[in-house]
Structure 1
Amino acid sequence: MKTAFLKLPFHFSEEKLLNDLGICKNYNFTSHFNKNDYSGEWTSIALRSQNGEMDNIFALPQGEKKYKDTELLEKCVYFREIVDSFECEKESIRLLNLKPGSVIKEHTDYNLGYEDGIFRIHIPITTNENVHFFINSEEVKMLPSECWYGNFNLPHSVRNAGQTDRIHLVMDCLRNDWSDNLFAECGYNFEAENKPPEFSRETKLQMIEHLKLMDTETSREMISRLEKDL
């Protein structure tokens, strides 16, 4: 079975994370672009984006133009320290805020598992005991200052039933020898990763609609491949 998630052996300073979050809160967060995937308020701000702007919160697979740090990342000393501690290339880096009472509906992403050469890291900054995060039908309790990998090719959802914001630092990183060694130490199942995922027709249609919102060359190529499989 493919590895759905891993807790990575890093533990960051909750105080320093909150300090940099305070800097970011002086700027406007942008509502997530895919409004079909959530109810309530789900907002984001970019620390690294394709054009270097804070309001460009698209997170796309590799193959597009090179990502750039935003001016906000330059102001956040501890976030930069965390980013630099990952010895691999990075693409999109964002803060994602799920407000109280909000839900990210179950969905699947495309080409966003370690087997695709890219991996998404979640570092919780603020959360509460009533946040429920499911990956492949299994609840994952992510606590502040921890570090997690999730295979988001698999069905996943989040519900914030608490009274406080759930804010994560989210990094999309490119796989290399350093990350292979890290994942091996954490028990990643390399044998299972090359087995192609089996998506239902309904899931493929959902993924196509999600990709249409991005309207990029890469997303159009992915749509074409998915449509051939329908």
Structure 2
Amino acid sequence: MRTHYVGDTPLDDDRLTKDLEQSDSLTWSEAYSDYVFGGAWKSCMLWARGGDAGDGVVTHYDHERPAAFTEFADQLPYLRELIESVADLDRLNFVRLAKVQNSVIIPHRDLLELADLADETRNAHRMHIPLVTNEDCFFNEGDTVFRMRRGEVWFLDASEIHSVAVLSSQERVHLMFDFVDVPSPKPLTTVRGAGPDAGIPADRTLKRPPLTDAEHAGLMRLADILTPETVNEVFSIVIKRHFRSDGGESFVWRTMTDIARAAADPAVLAHVEELRRHYTLERTA
């Protein structure tokens, strides 16, 4: 399903605040934090196979069991009601409450490690509802950078290379829904609005200035300090620049490869190429 804005769902501020405060007492997983530079990607499973909160790694769940609310969802009544009101529960596979701050996420494709699962149990469609966000939270697909605003419902094509930047000390908190791809007369969400052809609205898109020659030269000078120990820091700088300046398609991976190729240690280039394979081409469970 193509990335697109669907519409808005109303949020009850008081009840949402109460649930988010309660969620602080739950056990949060830091699975998938290897995708993140700067901090941790934290998630709390609210709906999962077997109703098991588990460890947050979707391949670790028993996909033969039906999906259901977890014990964590039972402690967050408003979020449970919200999930029930917006999603087709018959095809709902996982729902995570996810938060991140002061971090960027490596450009990647999701779902690669799920290829061996049957259609009726494999995540195929991803939906987001931002619950807490701000103007310094960005999503990126291809060369398009955009914002998802509080209470909006979005479908994201997680099979496309995408990344995230939360350039703020305030936590960005989203509900993330994963659906299976099986025939049904019902829509995946009850929220009505634009269809897939609408894509990303122009007023959600960030208009970035073109990357200047001086900015490109500055990034290339990072080759002087690029070593196996500094790869994450350099990656973070390149990703942050991508969210502020338009360097064209595949900017992050292309630039990191060029910097690594110019570095003194040849092992760095091999490492970057392996990272690119793992995050965008082929990944085992």
TM-score, structure 1 as length reference = 0.71
Deviations 1:64-91 (A, max 9, x none): 2233321111121111212212234211
1:218 corresponding residue in structure 2: none
**Whole-angstrom distance in 2 between the partners of 1:8 and 1:119:** 17
- Corresponding position of 2:126: 120
Answering whether residue 24 of structure 2 is matched by residue 25 of structure 1, we say yes
1:150–1:183 distance in 2 versus 1, CA, 3 Å: farther
Tell me the percent identity: 22
Letter aligned with residue 81 of structure 1: E
Say which of 249, 268, 279 aligns to 1:206.
279
Aligned pair count? 195
Secondary structure at 2:152 match in 1: coil
Give the distance between the partners of 1:64 and 1:188, measured in 2 at CA: 28
CA contact (8 A) 1:45 1:55 kept: no
- Partners of 2:88 and 2:190 within 8 A in 1: no
Q: 1:49 to 1:3 in 2, by over 3 A?
A: closer
Counterpart secondary structure, 1:47: strand
Query: Which residue is 1:79 aligned to?
Result: 79
Letter in 1 for 2:194: C
Q: Deviations over 1:167-206 (max 9, x none)?
A: 11111123532217969952224xxxxxxxxxxx986653
Matches within 5 A, 1:138-217: 138-175=144-181, 176-179=184-187, 186-189=194-197, 205-207=278-280, 211-212=283-284, 214=285
Q: Distance in 2 between matches of 1:117 and 1:71?
A: 21
AA matched with 2:79: F
Cα distance in structure 2, aligned partners of 1:128 and 1:21: 17
Shift of 1:123: 1.1
What residue is the counterpart of 2:104 in the other structure? Answer: 103
Deviation for aligned residue 1:52: 3.3
Q: What is the RMSD computed on CA atoms of the aligned residues?
A: 3.2
Residue 144 of structure 1: CA displacement? 1.8
5+ unaligned residues in a row in structure 2: which ranges?
Answer: 115-121, 198-272
Query: Is the Cα contact below 8 Å between 2:6 and 2:195 reproduced in 1?
Result: no
- Contact kept? 1:106, 1:155, Cα under 8 Å: yes
Distance 1:144 1:9 in 2: 9
Whole-angstrom CA distance in 1 between matches of 2:71 and 2:56: 14
Counterpart Cα distance in 1 of 2:27 and 2:72: 11
TM-score, normalised with respect to structure 2: 0.59
Change (3 A) 1:147 1:181: closer
| Contact in 2 for aligned 1:4/1:136 (Cα 8 Å) | no
Q: Distance in 1 between matches of 2:83 and 2:26?
A: 20
What SS is found at the alignment partner of 2:125? strand
Residue identity in the other structure for 1:206:
Y
Contact 1:125–1:144 under 8 Å retained in 2: yes
Output the CA distance in 2 between the equivalents of 1:167 and 1:3. 23
Worse overlay, 13-22 or 62-71: 62-71
Whichever residue aligns with residue 19 of structure 1, its letter is K
* Structure 2 partner of 1:91: 93
